[in-house]
Every structure is written in structure tokens, then in C-alpha cells.
Amino acid sequence: MSLTLVIGNKNYSSWSMRPWLALKATGIAFDEVVIPLYTGDADKQRILDVTRSGKVPALVDGNVTVWDSLAIIEYAAERFPDARLWPQDVVARAHARSVSAEMHSSFMALRNECGMNIHRPVRSKPLSDDARANIARIQQIWTECRAQYGGQGPYLFGAFSGADAMFAPVIHRFRTYAIDVTPPVHAYMDTMLANAAFQEWTSGALAETLVIEKFEID
């Protein structure tokens, strides 16, 4: 039985991007169902019919439903161990899970001030000190990972992993809002921007025509 991943608009739904990219980039086959966000009660009910959380993404695997981006990535890692969504080394795996969980629970100022909007023309905007602190911490994470694991490949932990998927929307945020980054961070961003699955998501986002006005205010 095939997997079904229920996601929101590719242009705006950063949380949907994470598990979609994790599955796609590691070759895990799935069917994709897009339910537009903020379009009214009918689409909201379609999401509720999949998960009582009322939120996307959600992964359906037979009689198993998993919601929340990081939970989906963890489930996929257990269900498809050959995809190697986490590093094989126990220390590297703990590191990857730690930075992924930090991404999952932190950086609220950056999220609030620089929402994911792939259609948005590239331009900077004034940011709060809290958002700039978020940006500095993310760059620190990426730089330390690349310094420690860069000899094993071009991603955060050498090979592509769930950690790269968790941080993927930040690549778009940094690009869209013209964030100044260090050379090592720029090199990592280039790696992600060149990833075939990342490009496929981006192309899909740019092809969307639905505009959510509250995400277009900046």
C-alpha cells in the first residue's frame, strides 16, 4: 500500500515542505494530496477528515496516520531504514535530531517576520533584534555541521538527511528576504537550491496561483 502525504500550498506551507522533501529526496514513493489553506470550511473539513489536528502535513500509511513534520520524518526513517533519513553514526544522528528539534521548536521571530512566500520578490526588510539573533543561531548551526561533517558530503551531515529537510524552508526565507550570510552558509544554501527535490517543490510553488492575502503584507 502506498503512502499518501497531505500537504498545503507549496508557496506558503513551510511545514508541508519538510516531510515532502525528506521523502522525495531519499526516494521514498508517495502520493501527494494538496489541500489549499485558508480557503473556507470545505477545505478545512477535508483536512479534519484526515487528521483531527486540523493541520497539514499528514502522512497516511494504510491504517496509520502521522501528523506533524518531524513526526512524519521520524516515522519514515523507521519505516524505510534504507533511505537513511538520519545519519548512521549514533553521535551524528543525535546531533542531527537535536538541531532538527531546535528548528521545530524555535526561531519564532524569524518565522513571524519572514514568512515563507516563494512568490515574493527578493528584497530585504527591517528585522527585529530577536529575528537577527535567530538568523545568527541558524548560521551557527549550519556552519558547525558543515565544519564537522563536510568531508562526508555537501549537506549538513554529509549525505542528505532529515535535518536538511527540517531547515529547507529557511533556505527560501534567507533567499527571499535577502539575508546576509557567511560564505560557508552561502555554499550550503547553493547545495540545497541545486537539490532536484528542492527545485521540484520550488517549481510547484511558483506554478500556484492562489494568493493568501495575509501572507502578502510585507
CATH tag, 3-83: 3.40.30.10
**Fold assignment, 90-201:** Glutathione S-transferase Yfyf (Class Pi); Chain A, domain 2 (1.20.1050)
Where do the domains of the chain lie?
3-83, 90-201
Instruction: Give the pLDDT band of residue 149 (cuts 50, 70, 90).
Output: very high
Query: pLDDT tens for residues 96-117?
Result: 999 999 999 999 999 999 999 9
Of residues 114, 216, 122, 129, the one with CA closest to residue 169? 114
Q: Is pLDDT at 24 greater than 90 in this prediction?
A: yes
User: How many whole angstroms separate alpha carbon 215 and alpha carbon 82?
Assistant: 38
19 has a pLDDT exceeding 70? yes
Q: Is the peptide bond before 57 cis (omega within 30 degrees of 0)?
A: yes
